[in-house]
Amino acid sequence: MNHPPIDTTQEIRAVLGEWRTHTLNVILSIAAAAMTGAVTVLLIDTVSKPEQLAAMLIFLACDLVLIGLAVLRRIDVRLRGLGFLLLGYCGGILALSRGGLAGAGREYLIMLPIIGIILVGVRVGLLLTGLSAAIMGIFALLARLGAFQDWLAQGWLIYAQNPLNLEAERRAKVELNQAHQLLGDYSQSLEQKVEQRTAELVRASDEAIEARSSTEAASRAKSEFLANMSHEIRTPMNAILGMTTFLQDTALTPQQQDFVETIRSSENVLLAIINDILDISKIEAGRMELALHPFDVRECIESAIDLVAPKAAEKDLELICTVAESVPTHIFSDPTRLRQILINLLSNAVKFTNAGEVEITAACEKITSLRPATGTLGTYLLNFAVRDTGIGISSAWTACSRPSARWTPR
């Protein structure tokens, strides 16, 4: 049994026609519903803004046409599609009049040819593409020439009073470009200032480092000079002091003995000054070292008291020495430095006290105990304090106290 040949092209066209009809019905229904809502809002707004009556009537007419195209489905699908596209072009032109080529009208005119290809056909879509390009070109040319200014100024077709103003748009773009250029200039100027400030800071830092190095070098040179000069001066001073001592042992008249005593006293004072200068230079050079030797703590204190006793006797001051029983008799430390500290404290106390007394006290705090089994010596912290009845200085220094370093008893 022979069957008639199947025309595939006809079947594809039939299926495509049904799909186009269904798609058009859906699009028209959605568009009609959306337009009805917009017309309702515009109608309510027209009550307070009568000048928008003309725009409301245009929107109402378009809504009625959309409703008719959506309801009257017996009309040929191509005619309904062309009617929908015609309304789309009207809306696109209206959008162009509201927002210019940069607004939504451009999107409408670009989108309508694509919809025409889907709903009607390729040929119609190509024709609509040319139509859209022509409308946008003519609209841009007329708007640039100012032909629409008087018509748009009337506002009878413009919803929400938003006419086209390409000149304002161009001015806005120019101002935006100027703002970007100004911002770039400010940014470049700021970068230059930051680089300049950074260079100044680096230069100032280098100068500060160089100045500090120069200062340190000068300080070291001064300390070395003082140390060298102190050594150079102290050597002949020791010789003079020795010769003076030998001279005292010879047969001298009372007047000569008095002269020698004066010379010896002056030599001791000068030698003490030289030792102080040498100590300062050592401290500044960072070469101050303690010489650990065994000595008697009480004898060290008594020797310091003996040196200031003549000055105290001249002022009729009472010198009092109190040493706690916990203080060890012999320790390992630097007796010269300790005696120097005590002499300085006692000398200041005697100097600024005109009546009364000067008292030095020594106390002890055990740090570690003696361990005979291991041969480890004990460690103590000696605290010395000098009190006087003089004028005093500030409340923070009323009790002039100087704790020593840690001492190791024998």
Distance, CA of 19 to chain centre: 67
The per-residue DSSP string of 112-123 comes to: HHHHHHHHT-HH
CA–CA dist 197, 337 (Å, integer): 51
DSSP string, 393-407: --GGGSSEEEEEEEE
Instruction: Give residue 320's region: left, alpha or beta (phi > 0; psi -120 to 50).
Output: beta
DSSP string, 28-91: HHHHHHHHHHHHHHHHHHHHH-GGGHHHHHHHHHHHHHHHHHHH-TTS-HHHHHHHHHHHHHHH
What pLDDT, in 10s, does the model give residues 298-307?
888 888 888 8
Using alpha carbons, select from 327, 330, 311 the residue that is nearest to residue 319: 311
Taking only the tens place, the pLDDT of each residue in 373-405 is 665 667 888 899 999 988 766 655 544 444 444
The reported pTM is 0.37
Higher pLDDT, 386 or 410: 386
| pLDDT-based confidence at residue 358 (cuts at 50, 70, 90) | very high
How far apart, in whole angstroms, are the C-alpha atoms of residue 354 and residue 388? 10
Beta bridge partners of 269: none
Res 357: pLDDT: 92
Q: pLDDT digit string (tens) for 153-178? A: 444 344 334 444 445 656 777 888 88
- Cα separation, 190 vs 195, in Å, equals 9
Average pLDDT on 57-66 reads 80
- Strand-pairing partners, residue 406, are 381
Report the pLDDT value the prediction gives residue 359, as an integer from 0 to 100: 93
Based on its alpha-carbon atoms, the radius of gyration of the chain, rounded to whole angstroms, reads 56
Confidence at residue 393, expressed as pLDDT on a 0 to 100 scale: 64
Domains of the chain: 8-164 (no CATH), 290-409 (3.30.565.10)
401, amino acid identity = S
Above 90 in pLDDT, residue 52? no
Digit-coded pLDDT (tens) for 199-208: 999 999 888 8
Say how many CA atoms lie within 13 Å of 278 toward its Cβ: 16
Q: Which residues contact 234 (CB under 8 A, 6 or more apart)?
A: 271, 274, 275, 278
Q: What is the pLDDT of residue 361?
A: 93
Quick one: which H or E segment has residue 350? Answer: helix 335-351
Question: Which residues lie below 8 Å from residue 339, measured CB to CB, with a gap of 6+?
Answer: 300, 303, 304
Cβ burial 124-160 (10 Å sphere, 16+ → b, else e): bbeebbebbeebbeebeeebeeeebeeebeebeebbe
Closest by Cα among 292, 346, 303, 301 to 327: 301
Alpha-carbon 102 to chain mean position: 44
- pLDDT-based confidence at residue 107 (cuts at 50, 70, 90): confident
How far apart, in whole angstroms, are the C-alpha atoms of residue 236 and residue 322? 39
Count of alpha carbons within 13 angstroms of residue 102, beta-carbon side: 10
Q: H-helix or E-strand containing 386?
A: strand 379-388
